[in-house]
Amino acid sequence: MKHWLLLLVLSLQQCSAFKIGMRRIKCSTPIGGKPTDALLDPRPNIPCVIGYVGAQALLPSLSKCPVDAQIQPPWFNGSGGAGFCPPEYYNLGAVVPGIAIILAALALNMNISSNRLLVTTKGIGTIDKTMDIGAVKQPEEILFKDIDEWNMTPAGLIVKHSSSTAFFPLYWDQKSVEALLDERVA
């Protein structure tokens, strides 16, 4: 009884600590960058979902054939209907949309992997991951002193600055971007 009472009292006490410790930012240091520069790691969630949609569009066109024509795996002991169709039954016209969607997902994934979000001590922008930011002129970035307002939405980051508004799609870890911007945008 005393144990439950103690748990009840402890659960009613208000906790004063909102954030404990530093958040692990999912990033790497860019080539030629300072240790405080963050080249955020890509998150392939959107390409994976698009690829799944492509696979769902592709598979039904490959499995339309009579049950007696299906190729059954050797371990199958049922009456039929769960096998693979031979290639002569494939509907290639119906396969094209699924392949196109899968290729679009692969292209988006390659774009996300090479063009990454860079957050330096001065600003934010996207660069190619192989770019040496120390040797060449600074990449196009939005300086933190020019940022009027920033907002993280479910679709990505919206940055309003002195000249216009920039949108960075949510291809990176949302909490890491928020933690970096909270720290660096004054």
In a domain, 154, yes or no: yes
Predicted confidence band at 137 (pLDDT cuts at 50, 70, 90)? low
Q: What are phi and psi of 159, to 5 degrees?
A: -120, 115
Answer whether residue 51 is part of any domain. yes
Spatial CA neighbour of 109 closest among 38, 51, 28: 51
The model's pLDDT over 140-161, given as tens digits with 9 standing for 90+, comes to 788 888 888 999 998 889 999 8
Strand order from edge to edge, sheet including 147-152: 147-152, 156-161, 165-169
In a domain, 17, yes or no: no
Which pLDDT score is estimated for 2? Answer: 55
Under the banding of pLDDT at 50, 70 and 90, the label for residue 15 is very low
Mean pLDDT score, 64-75 = 81
- 13 within a domain of the structure (yes/no): no
Could you list the residue range(s) of the whole structural domain that residue 136 is in? Answer: 29-184
Is 116 a member of any domain? yes
- Asked, for residue 68, whether it belongs to a domain, the answer is yes
Locate 120 and state its tokens.
């330096």
Name the domain count of the chain. 1
Q: Could you tell me if residue 23 is inside a domain?
A: no
Q: What is the CATH number of the domain that holds 165?
A: 2.30.29
In the prediction, which pLDDT does 92 show? 82
The three-class DSSP label of residue 76 is coil
Report the pLDDT value the prediction gives residue 146, as an integer from 0 to 100.
Answer: 87
Q: Tokens representing 99?
A: 């392949």
* β-bridge mates for residue 166, sequence order: 159
The answer to whether position 12 is within a domain reads no
